[in-house]
């Protein structure tokens, strides 16, 4: 991949809401700042209840009148496949819009985010005509059936860490199932999803079926959650905000929700691993990818004593190799922190843990850079007990908390968390041990001898406990955008 670099000032930003198939400018309520250089890119309008109502009512009307839900399902699939093709043709434009205001380096948006986005659209296109109802076993003079139908309009609230990918997980299965949708992207990363919506209309999606409203969670997000025309919600973000979304859904419906929330994911390393270097690479990527700003970040290392010393040494060496380059530099491989307040929060959690007795093996600190952005170097802390803040709290930064164990039962006990159950990693050469870990660990996803999501869209993702409800990806995500109707017909 050559000539990927660009200048932020050369990127034309689609500033505004996307309603009824067109860009709708508005006020200048929210400053959008680039984490790559700390400069203000644009001022964004904020949608209040009236504009959210317009977006939801438009989506409902178009969903009813366009025939989107009632057409042959493969006709929907054709539109979605054309949309995926347009995403690929406009990959560089989308990648630049993604990178300019997010933490995603340009080489990664071009090399992973956009291809993953296009394939995700194609995956759900394939489901358009694959999920039907069932014929029930009844008396022979009766016909019993279950029939799936769309909710009508869904609401989606997406996070800032992977703006396009996470928005697509919510919007695309909803559209494939026959719904209209209203999306609120993060106010920190508002631009790329507007272009994505424009490409959907260009592909043949009825204008007004997919609307984007900009704004904060307190104003715009709350209005989406409580709108009576919106029949189902999907949210990715913090556990605290997810609880507020669920409460609003209960009070204004009730309506079903899909919630992918916080995590504090453990990685268990046993002393039978065949290669310390391979596992060190895997663990390092798992807690420094996107500078740790990933829901499934593997931020707790639980390592068996026999391999602890060489593994920790290998990780310490890797921490010193990262470089701080602006995300639009084609050589950038390490991400900035999304904002100054988030960087301060990360550093405060580290210092609080050190003051409470944790041993700092590698300091997480501000990196010297001439970009103007906020970069934090990867940090590693040896934790003495499960009450340590770095063991308990989701940092959302490049910090690895470590505890050492001797026996398997101790490892599984250390992996327990009182709140979170999003993901876990297991690194072992023993199949029986791996199978025991799979059954024992309380996590929605368990990776064995790997860590992180792949392009296996058929495997759903979602957490247990405080890490969420429901699933993104897979057949489960498609079915979550449909409601089931029971039918019993008697012969005259």
Per-residue pLDDT of 39-51, as tens digits, reads: 999 999 999 999 9
* Residue 86 to residue 122: CA distance in whole angstroms: 12
Checking if the pLDDT of 354 tops 70, the result is: yes
- What integer is the mean pLDDT of 197-205? 98
Q: Give 303-316 as a DSSP string.
A: EEHHHHHHHHHHHH
Per-residue pLDDT reduced to its tens digit, 87-130: 999 999 999 999 999 999 999 999 999 999 999 999 999 999 99
pLDDT at 1: 45
Question: How far apart, in whole angstroms, are the C-alpha atoms of residue 310 and residue 303?
Answer: 11
The residues carrying an active-site annotation are: 260, 295
Q: Tell me which residue of 372, 322, 329, 349 sits closest to 106, measured CA to CA.
A: 329
**The model's pTM:** 0.96
Does the pLDDT at position 296 exceed 60? yes
pLDDT band at 2 (very low <50, low <70, confident <90, very high): low
Q: Is the pLDDT of residue 329 over 70?
A: yes
CA atoms within 13 A on the CB side of 112: 15
* Residue-wise pLDDT tens digits, 148-160: 999 999 999 999 9
CB-based burial, 67-91: b 16+ in 10 Å, e otherwise: ebbeeebeebbebbbbbbebbeebb
Amino acid 369: pLDDT: 85
- Please give the pLDDT value at position 391: 96
The two tokens of residue 346 are: 């990360």
Strand partners, 486: 146
Residues 338 and 188: beta-carbon distance below 8 Å: yes
Rounded Cα–Cα distance for residues 182 and 235 (Å): 12
pLDDT of residue 3: 87
Q: Whose CA is closest to 211, among 235, 236, 181?
A: 181
- Checking if the pLDDT of 18 tops 90, the result is yes
**Half-sphere exposure for 40 (CA within 13 Å, toward CB):** 7
**Distance between CA 16 and CA 32 in Å, rounded?**
12
- In tens, the pLDDT along 251-264 reads 998 999 999 999 99
- DSSP per-residue codes, 194-212: HHHHHHHHHHTPPTTSEEE
| % of residues, the chain, pLDDT over 70 | 100
pLDDT above 60 (res 373) = yes
């Amino acid at each position: 991949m050559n000539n990927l670099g660009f200048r932020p000032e050369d990127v034309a930003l689609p500033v505004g809401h996307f309603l009824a198939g067109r860009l709708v400018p508005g006020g200048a309520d929210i400053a959008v700042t680039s984490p790559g250089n700390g400069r203000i890119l644009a001022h964004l309008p904020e949608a209040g209840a009236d504009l959210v109502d317009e977006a939801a009512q438009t989506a409902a009307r178009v969903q009813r009148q366009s025939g989107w839900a009632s057409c042959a399902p493969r006709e929907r699939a054709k539109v979605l496949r054309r949309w995926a093709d347009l995403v690929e043709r406009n990959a560089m434009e989308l990648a630049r819009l993604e990178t300019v205001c997010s933490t995603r380096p340009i080489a990664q948006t071009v090399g992973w985010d956009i291809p993953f986005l296009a394939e995700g659209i194609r995956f759900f296109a394939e489901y358009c005509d694959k999920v039907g109802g069932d014929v029930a076993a009844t008396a022979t003079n009766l016909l019993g059936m279950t029939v799936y139908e769309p909710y009508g309009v869904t609401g989606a609230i997406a996070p800032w860490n992977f703006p396009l990918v996470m928005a697509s997980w919510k919007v695309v299965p909803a559209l494939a199932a026959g719904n209209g949708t209203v999306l609120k992207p993060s106010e920190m990363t508002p631009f790329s999803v507007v272009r994505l919506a424009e490409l959907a209309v260009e592909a043949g999606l009825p204008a007004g079926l997919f609307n984007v409203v900009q704004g904060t969670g307190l104003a715009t997000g709350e209005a989406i959650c409580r709108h009576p025309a919106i029949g189902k919600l999907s949210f990715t973000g913090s556990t605290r905000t997810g609880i507020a979304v669920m409460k609003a859904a209960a009070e204004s419906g009730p309506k079903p929700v899909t919630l992918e929330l916080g995590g504090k994911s453990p990685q268990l390393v046993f002393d039978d691993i065949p290669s310390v270097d391979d596992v060190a690479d895997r663990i390092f990527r798992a807690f420094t990818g996107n500078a740790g700003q990933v829901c499934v970040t593997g931020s707790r290392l639980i390592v068996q004593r026999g391999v602890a010393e060489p593994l920790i040494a290998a990780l310490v060496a890797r921490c010193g190799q990262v470089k701080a380059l602006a995300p639009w530099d084609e050589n950038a491989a390490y991400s900035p922190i999304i904002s100054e307040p988030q960087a301060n929060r990360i550093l405060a959690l580290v210092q609080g843990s050190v003051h409470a007795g944790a041993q700092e093996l590698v300091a997480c600190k501000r990196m010297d850079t001439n970009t103007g952005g906020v970069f934090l170097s990867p940090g590693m802390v040896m934790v003495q007990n499960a009450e340590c803040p770095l063991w308990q709290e989701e940092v959302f930064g490049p910090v690895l908390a470590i505890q050492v164990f001797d026996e398997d039962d101790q490892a599984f006990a250390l992996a327990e968390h009182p709140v979170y159950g999003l993901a876990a990693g297991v690194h072992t050469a023993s199949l029986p041990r791996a199978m025991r870990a799979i059954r024992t660990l309380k996590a929605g996803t368990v990776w064995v001898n790997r860590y992180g999501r792949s392009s296996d869209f058929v495997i759903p993702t979602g957490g247990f406990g405080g890490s969420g409800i429901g699933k993104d990806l897979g057949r489960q995500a498609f079915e979550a955008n449909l409601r089931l109707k029971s039918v019993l017909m008697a012969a005259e």
